[in-house]
Chain A
Amino acid sequence: MTGLLKRLFIWTIAAGLILPFAVVFGVSINAESNIAFPPTEFSGRWYIMLLTESDWLIPIGNSFTIAFFAALIAVSIALAANYVLWRLNSGFGRAIFALGIGPFLLPPIIIAMGASVFWAEAGWYGRMEATIISHGVFFVTLPLVVISRGFAALSDDVIDASRIMGATPRQTFTKVILPLVAPYVVTGYVLVAIISVNEYLISYMVSGFAVETLPIRIFNNVRYGYSPVVASAAMGFAFITVLSLLALSMVTDLLKLLGARRD
């Protein structure tokens, strides 16, 4: 009896989460040029439009460029912070770690506002580099936490063994620590890249009027009128996100990384 209720509940939740996307998918493959579901005639033209028209290609390019570099920044900060905390375990390390957690606790509007004011003063308001740096710094929390799990998994014995065998701290880092922490670093990178590609508010407020990212374009479209291409853009997002995560799951034990128990 409870088993049945549980299954019903979980399937309802699944439906609620997937249904919107099922509909968007249907809209994106509809041949008609107004938003309608179910599709009367199937056509892939909206996807073709998405991938050929510069109106869309430029925002796509912008989003990916920003994501690529922002993720590098975020992960480098997260790795350095984790290493310092792990190595020193002092107030210094903890302070840095706390700073890394900070951005996650604050509502994005506060951060976005602060960033736009900051860059206005610094003179980089409207430049892609500004968004890259802001994304890199504000999305530090997720890789910080993921990589901290990686360091937590490092047993002292392995490090001690390396030292006893005569390795310098640098060698221990490159030969022992880095390979063991690598899956977590890669996961952190992929997650930040995905989040950056999907982010709206900060990129809008820092450089939105000059650098159009994909979410900005979609948002403007929804506000001011759109065709089904937007649906194909939305689905494109969903596909890429899911595919990246699937790829990640094949390379790493995703469940373990997120904290599942070992059996």
Chain B
Amino acid sequence: MKRFALAPHLIGLYPLGMMVIFFLGPLAFMIVVSFYLRDPLGFYKVDFTWENYGKFFSSFYYSVSLRSIWTSALASLLTVALAFPAIYVITDMRRKWQLAWVIGLLALMCLSEVVIGFAWVILMSESAGIPRLLGWLGLWEDPRSLSPSRLAMLIGMVSLGFSLVALMFFPQLSQRDRSIEEAAQTLGTPPAQVFFRIVLPIFRPGLAASLVTMFVYYLGVYVMPTMLGRPQDWNMSVIITDKAVEQANMPLGAALAVIMLIFTVLLIGGFALATRKEGAK
């Protein structure tokens, strides 16, 4: 029979208060504003209309949504396909090298989208980057900048998320029981097949979770598409910001953001439910 401890509950009011006021508050406000009307002179006119949501069901926003989903899914798949094997190799390295990699990955993870995007802009530029190198080598006659383009945007996105996935899998892969892979070898599995036959199946749940996490993450990138992609490559996040700020239509931006929020919550919720069912089996 535990006594009710007052002090921790009082202490708990601080984080609770902060999160409710400054995290849930803004979300609530956004939902409210999505029903307002646009005011060209200010932010918005207080009203109640479904007009903003209605605008979503036009072909423009549909195609942007589909494009967002397609690009995010592709980027997510590429990132996990590269980062998981990479961190698998890294966790078997000597401690010294692991630390170097981890610092590098942490730095990349913390580094601004803006800086990483900028770096790729330069690398893809005709005066300083790969096109220039290929031109200098004689492999490309009239080198042009490789960005903005869908490929450049994808590469930028993958380099952005790579470190996240790698660091997400670091604990599990570092602490894994390596004798399972050794056992597979003694039983006759050639070393090259051990990763595909044993490691991947064991990590299937984690891989699925990271694919979903990165999908949501990539839905939300703003800087990469803007810096490295053409307007026809832009995803929903860019469009939302564009509408809200550049075109001074915050209610519309809010409505689109709410739709995105609902989609994200449904996706994460659905996935969480699916994993719980799998676990209970």
Which residues of chain A have a CB within 8 Å of any CB of chain B? 1-2, 5-6, 9-10, 13, 16-21, 23-24, 26-27, 34-37, 73, 76-78, 80-81, 83-84, 87-88, 92-93, 95-96, 99-100, 102-103, 105-118, 120-121, 133-134, 136-138, 140, 169, 191, 194-195, 197-201, 205, 215, 218-219, 222-223, 230-231, 234, 237-238, 241-242, 245-246, 249, 254-255, 258-261
Cα of A222 to Cα of B90 in the assembled complex, Å: 35
**Is the CB of B112 closer than 8 A to any CB of chain A?**
yes
| Smallest CB gap from B244: residue in A | A113
Q: State the Cβ distance, B271 to closest chain A Cβ, in Å.
A: 11
Cα of A134 to Cα of B260 in the assembled complex, Å: 20
Contact in complex: B26, A260 (CB < 8 Å): no
Q: A99-B16, A200-B114, A242-B107 are in contact. List 8 more A-B contacts (CB 8 A).
A: A24-B119, A37-B128, A78-B15, A121-B29, A198-B112, A200-B112, A218-B112, A260-B171
Q: State the Cβ distance, B75 to closest chain A Cβ, in Å.
A: 14
Cα of A21 to Cα of B23 in the assembled complex, Å: 35
Interface string of B182-208 (1 = CB under 8 A from A): 000000000110000000000000000
Q: State the Cβ distance, B81 to closest chain A Cβ, in Å.
A: 12
Q: State the Cβ distance, B83 to closest chain A Cβ, in Å.
A: 8
**Is the CB of B104 closer than 8 A to any CB of chain A?**
yes
Known A2-B192, A255-B95; judge A260-B33 contact (CB<8 A): no
Main secondary structure, interface of A, reads helix
**Is the CB of B22 closer than 8 A to any CB of chain A?**
yes
Contact in complex: B257, A109 (CB < 8 Å): yes
Q: Which residues of A contact B29 (CB under 8 A)?
A: 114, 117-118, 121
Q: State the Cβ distance, A64 to closest chain B Cβ, in Å.
A: 14
**Is the CB of B223 closer than 8 A to any CB of chain A?**
yes
| Smallest CB gap from B14: residue in A | A80
Contact in complex: A200, B223 (CB < 8 Å): yes
Q: Which residues of B contact A110 (CB under 8 A)?
A: 27, 30, 220, 257, 260-261, 264
| Smallest CB gap from A194: residue in B | B110
Number of interface residues of B (CB under 8 A): 88
Contact in complex: B11, A108 (CB < 8 Å): no
| Smallest CB gap from B191: residue in A | A2
Q: Which residues of A contact B216 (CB under 8 A)?
A: 105-107
Known A27-B122, A73-B18; judge A138-B102 contact (CB<8 A): no
Which residues of chain B have a CB within 8 Å of any CB of chain A? 5, 7-9, 11-12, 14-16, 18-20, 22-27, 29-30, 33, 43, 82, 85-86, 89-91, 95, 98-99, 102-104, 106-108, 110-123, 125, 127-129, 132, 159, 162, 167, 170-172, 174-175, 191-192, 216-217, 219-220, 222-223, 226-227, 236-237, 240-241, 244-245, 250, 253-254, 257, 260-261, 264, 268
Q: Which residues of A contact B171 (CB under 8 A)?
A: 258-260
Q: Which residues of A contact B162 (CB under 8 A)?
A: 13, 17
Contact in complex: B257, A99 (CB < 8 Å): no
Interface centre among B24, B191, B222 (most CB of A within 10 A): B222
Q: Which residues of B contact A27 (CB under 8 A)?
A: 122, 128
Q: Which residues of A contact B106 (CB under 8 A)?
A: 191, 245, 254, 258
Contact in complex: B222, A201 (CB < 8 Å): yes
Contact in complex: A254, B22 (CB < 8 Å): no
Q: Which residues of B contact A80 (CB under 8 A)?
A: 11-12, 14-15
Contact in complex: B264, A24 (CB < 8 Å): no
Known A9-B86, A258-B167; judge A200-B192 contact (CB<8 A): no
Cα of A134 to Cα of B29 in the assembled complex, Å: 14
Contact in complex: B22, A134 (CB < 8 Å): yes
Known A27-B122, A77-B14, A110-B261; judge A215-B219 contact (CB<8 A): no
Known A108-B220, A258-B102; judge A16-B257 contact (CB<8 A): no
Contact in complex: B12, A93 (CB < 8 Å): yes
Report 21 cross-chain contacts, Cβ distance below 8 Å, ordered by A residue: A2-B192, A9-B89, A20-B122, A20-B159, A36-B127, A77-B19, A78-B15, A93-B8, A99-B15, A99-B16, A118-B22, A118-B29, A120-B250, A137-B18, A215-B114, A215-B115, A237-B115, A241-B107, A242-B107, A259-B170, A260-B171
